[in-house]
Amino acid sequence: MAVTETGIAATPAHQRAALIGAAVALVLAVALFAGARFGLLLAIGLGFGIALEGLRFGFAGPWRAMILRRDPAGIFAQLVAIAIVSMGAIPLLASHPGELTGAHAPVGFAMLGGAFVFGAAMQVVLGCGSGTLVNAGSGNPVGLAALPFFAIGSFAGASHLVWWTDLGTAPVVVFRGAGGLVVTLALLAAVAGILWWRAAPENRKLPARRLWIAAIAVAVLALANLAVAGQPWGVVYGLGLWAAKGAVALGVDVTASPFWAAPGNADRLAASVLTDVTSLTNIGIIAGAALVAAWRGGLAQALPGYPARAWVCTIIAGFLLGYSSRLAFGCNVGAFFSGISTGSLHGWAWFAAAFAGAVLGVRLRPLSGLEARS
Amino acid sequence: MTRHLTAALAVAFIAAIVLADLLGGAVPNPYRAPAAVALGSGLASAGGHCAALPGN
């Protein structure tokens, strides 16, 4: 068996062929069993997982790099990806209003508070919405432990969403059409300018080629998600649906919640997860990240040891990630990435509130014990 | 222990969700599936999204 530069044994060719075969078989099985659209969505999810893990494109890590080292390269890549998607999505939403839906939501007190808490929690576990899925798939034990509690939190947050939004919510504001695209691109450029200004002098440089490739790949997949599903890329809804289905199986009457009793949500509770858009892309992200980790031989890494308080913090942070992202009308994917790229003002409000929360979260992380590996 | 264990648990987690769902009676019907691509289908998206208010 060959050994890579990192000292990890490379995966043999026949095992890599088996990984590709398994991924293709999975997509074909879902397409045949559930429908072509759902097979395509699983394939898009696999693509997200492969791009995010394979090219190490994330959200929590780059925000941490900016806060601690004033290194904006990773956030520049996020802004590039969002800009590319907005150039496709905003015109498409204008030309196909009956077929495509944007990630449009109102700004409100609970929305801002939720985004702040999400930003803090994602820095504690170093995993956002997509990051928790990728981390779990690649065998990161913290991501794996956070995932089920993320789902439970998402279910609970959705169940209480109406109460929270009743605290005060502004009308939905959307930047539409050519003018909306210009505003969105101008705001993205302004944020890039601020980051450049705030960057450490040695970090005032363009992102590495890997990040450009990752940004383009993620943007293409996000546009494919919009075209195939008719809605932008999201993560949190699917996780909450999984927990809601679990609650129903345990005999909980979820229809007591106005959210789960609403016709669309009640329909999705009764339908298969193999026909739910975000469930499929979430499954694909986990499987795609696992595929990349196995391909690289990264699964041979020994698991780190953490103190007990680290696991308690992971469970609490996982729950808060799910709960807060429902109040915030999305996580880094549904609100920040998809909200901004489809012209929603709430995406920008989410970004500001979550980044403020991330500043706090970076300071909380050492207290969690998650940096005390053995 | 290595990441083989935790990655396998993650894959088992999603497999368990899908299997439990199927055993619970939520079986998809490919003959009632929507068009492969929403764009150009003439039909509105019916998926759930975290940005949507209840009922949307």
Residues facing A174 on adjacent strands: A344
Residue A236 and residue B51 in contact, taking contact as beta carbons nearer than 8 Å:
no
**Cβ separation of B47 and A293 shorter than 8 Å?**
no
How many Cα atoms sit within 13 Å of A192 on the Cβ side? 19
Give contacts of A35 with chain B, Cβ < 8 Å.
28, 30, 32-34, 36
Cβ count within 10 A of residue B33: 17
Are A223 and A88 in contact by the 8 Å Cβ rule? The answer is yes
Percent of chain A past pLDDT 90, that is, above it, reads 95
pTM for the predicted model, two decimal places: 0.95
Secondary structure (3-state) at B21? helix
Residue of B nearest to A233 (CA): B49
Residues of A in contact with B14 (CB under 8 A): 282-283, 286-287
Q: What is the pLDDT of residues A133-174, one digit of tens each?
A: 999 999 999 999 999 999 999 999 999 999 999 999 999 999
Q: What is the mean pLDDT of chain A?
A: 95
Residues of B in contact with A273 (CB under 8 A): 17-18, 21, 26
What single string gives the DSSP state of each residue in A57-88?
A: --SHHHHHHHHHH---HHHHHHHHHHHHHHHH
Read off the pLDDT of each residue in A309-335 and give the average, rounded to a whole number.
98
Instruction: Check: CB of residue B16 under 8 Å from CB of residue A68.
Output: no
- For A189-210, what is the mean pLDDT? 97
Taking residues A171-190, report their average pLDDT.
98
Q: Which among A282, A348, A324 is positioned nearest to A122, based on CA atoms? A: A324
Calculate how close chain A gets to B2, using CA atoms only, in Å.
4
Here the tokens at position B24 are 């619970």
Query: What is the structure's pLDDT at B53?
Result: 82
- Which of B10, B40, B49 lies at the smallest CB-CB distance from A234? B49
Identity of the amino acid at A130: S
Cβ contact, residue pair A99, B38, below 8 Å: yes
Please list the helix, strand and coil fractions of chain A in percent, rounded to the nearest 5, in that order. 75, 0, 25
Residue given tokens 């549904």 in the structure block? A334
Please judge whether A329 and B28 are an interchain contact, meaning their C-beta atoms are less than 8 angstroms apart. Answer: no
- Give the integer Cα–Cα distance in Å for A47 and A24: 12
Cβ distance A132 to A321 under 8 Å?
Answer: yes
Give the gap in angstroms from C-alpha B15 to the nearest C-alpha of chain A. 9
The span from the CA of A232 to the CA of A94, in Å, is: 14
Residues of A in contact with B1 (CB under 8 A): 302-303
CB contact under 8 A, A264 and B5: no
Q: How many helices (H) and strands (E) does chain B have?
A: 1, 0
Mean pLDDT across the stretch A88-103?
97
Q: Tell me the C-alpha distance between A64 and A313, whole Å.
A: 18
Amino acid residing at A109: F
Which residues are CB-neighbours of A108 under 8 A, at least 6 positions away?
A165, A167, A168, A169, A170
Is a pLDDT exceeding 90 seen at residue A19? Answer: yes
Cβ within 8 Å, pair B36-A36:
yes
Please report the pLDDT score of residue A68 as a whole number.
98
Tell me: pLDDT of A5 over 70. no
Q: For A202, which DSSP code?
A: G
Q: What is the CA A191 to chain-centroid distance, rounded?
A: 21
What single DSSP character describes residue B39?
T
Q: Residue length, chain A? A: 374
A·B CB contacts under 8 A: 217
User: CB B51 to CB A103 under 8 A?
Assistant: yes
What's the confidence (pLDDT) of residue B45? 86
Within 8 A of A294 by CB-CB distance, chain B residues are 7
Chain B residue numbers touching A344 (CB-CB < 8 A)? 51
CA distance A53 to A74: 14
Residue A7 binned pLDDT confidence (cut-offs 50, 70, 90): low
pLDDT tier for residue A1 given thresholds of 50, 70 and 90 = very low
Q: What is the DSSP letter of A336?
A: I
Contacts of B7 in chain A (CB under 8 A): 137-139, 290, 293-294, 299
Tell me how close the Cα of B5 comes to any Cα of chain A, in angstroms: 7
Residue A224, burial from CB neighbour count under 10 angstroms (0-12, 13-18, 19+): buried
Q: How far is A205 from chain B (nearest CA, A)?
A: 34
C-beta of residue A91 within 8 angstroms of C-beta of residue A181? yes
- In this prediction, residue A4 carries a pLDDT of 52
Residue A57's pLDDT band (cuts 50, 70, 90): very high
Q: CA–CA separation, A333 vs A312, rounded Å?
A: 25
CB A16 within 8 A of CB A295: yes
Say how many Å lie between the first and final Cα of chain B, rounded: 45
Tell me which residues of chain A, numbers 228 to 267, contact chain B at a CB-CB cutoff of 8 Å: 228-232, 234-238, 240-242, 245-246, 249, 258-259, 262-265, 267
Q: Inform me whether the pLDDT recorded for A84 exceeds 90.
A: yes
User: Which pLDDT score is estimated for A156?
Assistant: 97
Residues A134, A287: contact at Cβ < 8 Å? no
- State the average pLDDT over residues A282-308: 96
Cα dist from B47 to A102, A106, B55, whole Å: 12, 19, 11
Buried b (16+ CB within 10 A) or exposed e, B13-31: bbeebbeebeeeebebebe
Which residues does chain B have with pLDDT short of 50?
A: none
Cβ-contact A35, B30 below 8 angstroms: yes
What residues 179-238 of chain A have any CB closer than 8 A to a CB of chain B? Answer: 226-232, 234-238
Asked whether the beta carbons of residue A40 and residue B14 sit closer than 8 angstroms, the reply is no
Interface contact A271-B26, CB threshold 8 A: yes
Give which of A203, A179, A194, A151 is closest to A322, Cα–Cα.
A151
Q: Do A276 and B18 touch (CB under 8 A)?
A: no
Cβ within 8 Å, pair A236-B50: yes
